[in-house]
Amino acid sequence: MLDGETIKSPSLVKIIGILALCAIIIVAILRDKIVNDRFKQITAVGQGKITYVPDTAVISLGAQVDRVPKAEDALNRLNDKIDKIKKAVIAAGVKEEDITTSNYSLSPQYDYRFDSGASGASVGVSARDIAVSSPEIAPMPAVINSPEKVLTVTGYNANQQLTIKVKDIANNNNLLNKAIAEAGKAGANQINGVSFEASNLEALKQQARVKALEDAKGKAKELAAAAGVRLKDITGWYENFVGLPYAMDSVAYGKGGAGVSGPMPQVSAGTNEIVVEIGLTYDIRS
């Protein structure tokens, strides 16, 4: 325990004073570091945009057969249709490896029959007819919940969807239109649309990122100059794609039970854009 004489020693008082001053400085530094760092930052958001012409077209089409009495016959008819479509598209100039199956399904077709009243007669209603009727005309619960209903399988529906890629469309645009036309002639009764993409998509995204970074850096310098501060290190960033490369043309061609022939469709790629935003966060010094 220190006595009064020891406390009054000039050297000890000086040491205590120095330690107290150091403690104050350390607390101030820690307080500034913990509390105020988040207020000594600046964030700038830059945007990079790349416009390009797609070089690949993706056709989505298919065929469906309805109300075939046997499931096996439904699949055989569908397979025959798809085989003819593939051969026609390949004959038009599309490579076989660029044709893939995206969906394949088989489902029963039901008829609901229910007592119509005193006469004892019955009325046949297909599940598909009920689905497209308005609730006021054919309320679904009235049919399904009727104690006299009879559920009958009247056939089978089979469906297959194909994805067909046409590459280098700048030099093969006629092939794109011809493939759609020939598929319709061969029996495609579901032509859903055409989308366009770039084979070098990742490289295009990277170009957009670089442009966004340059834009963000320039904006950060302008903001710092206007605020009268100096930029230090980049402490964080984020990116956000606000414009994704996607285009779809609906092609109402060859729709129907057996496919139809008609004039050559005219489908063009046009241009697409990739737009990316990047935010840069800098530490600043006043």
**DSSP-assigned beta bridge partners for residue 51:** 273
Question: How much is the pLDDT for 67?
Answer: 94
Please tell me which residue, 160 or 40, carries the higher pLDDT value. 160
Which pLDDT tens digit goes with each residue over 27-39?
555 545 444 455 6
Residue-wise pLDDT for 190-206, tens only, equals: 999 999 999 999 999 99
Identify the CATH class of 57-199: alpha beta
Residue 228 token pair: 């009268």
Higher-confidence residue: 256 or 25? 25
* pLDDT, tens digit, 9 for 90 and up, residues 158-183: 999 999 999 999 888 789 999 999 99
Q: Are 258 and 187 in contact (CB under 8 A)?
A: yes
Strands (DSSP E) found in the chain: 41-52, 56-68, 99-115, 122-126, 150-167, 190-197, 230-243, 248-249, 272-285
Mean pLDDT of 103-119: 76
Distance CA 139, CA 173 (A): 49
Cα angle at 104 between 103 and 107, to 5 degrees?
130
Question: What are the structural domain ranges in the chain?
Answer: 4-38, 57-199
The angle at the Cα of 259, spanning 253 to 261, to the nearest 5 degrees, equals 65
Q: Do 146 and 97 touch, CB atoms closer than 8 A?
A: no
What would the two tokens of residue 276 be?
């990316």
Total residues found in the chain within this entry: 286
116 vs 175: which has the higher pLDDT: 175
Contact between 136 and 75 (Cβ < 8 Å): no
* Burial group, residue 115, by CB count within 10 angstroms (0-12, 13-18, 19+): middle
Beta-ladder partners of 281 = 43, 236
Q: List alpha helices for 120-256, DSSP H.
A: 127-132, 140-144, 169-186, 201-227
And the tokens for 98?
């660029």
Nearest-angstrom CA–CA distance, 218 and 47 = 11
Q: Give buried/exposed letters for 20-51 (b at 16+ CB in 10 A, else e).
A: eeeeeeeeeeeeeeeeeeeeeebbbbbbbebe
Rounded CA-CA distance 201/1 in Å is 78
The number of CA neighbours under 13 Å toward the Cβ of 205 is: 13
pTM, whole model, 2 decimals? 0.63
CA-to-CA distance for 158 and 78, rounded, in angstroms?
6
